[in-house]
Amino acid sequence: MPHEQIVIPTADGHCPAHLLTPAGTGPWPAVIVYMDALAIRPALIALAQRIADAGYCVLLPDFFYRAGAYPVMDPVVVFQGDLMGTIGPLMATTGYGPATRDTQALLGWLETRSDVARFPMGVVGYCMGGGMALTAAGRFPDQIAAAASFHGGALATDAPDSPHLLAPHIRAEVLVAGADKDDFYPLAMHQRLVAALDAAGLRYTAEIYAGALHGWMQTDFPVYDHDAAERGWAELLALFARNLG
Q: What is the pLDDT of residue 134?
A: 98
What is the rounded end-to-end Cα distance, in angstroms, of the chain?
A: 20
Q: Domain boundaries in the chain?
A: 3-244
Cα–Cα dist 153/140, whole Å: 21
Q: Which residues are 144's β-sheet partners?
A: 121
Q: What is the pLDDT of residue 1?
A: 64
Q: What is the pLDDT of residue 72?
A: 94
Cα–Cα dist 57/27, whole Å: 8
Cα–Cα dist 127/20, whole Å: 21
Q: What is the pLDDT of residue 24?
A: 86
Q: What is the pLDDT of residue 71?
A: 92
Cα–Cα dist 134/172, whole Å: 9
- Give DSSP secondary structure letters for 35-90: --TT-S-HHHHHHHHHHHHTT-EEEEE-TTGGG---PPP-HHHHHHS-HHHHHHHH
* Sites in the chain below the pLDDT cut of 50: none
Give me the CATH topology for the region 3-244.
Rossmann fold (3.40.50)
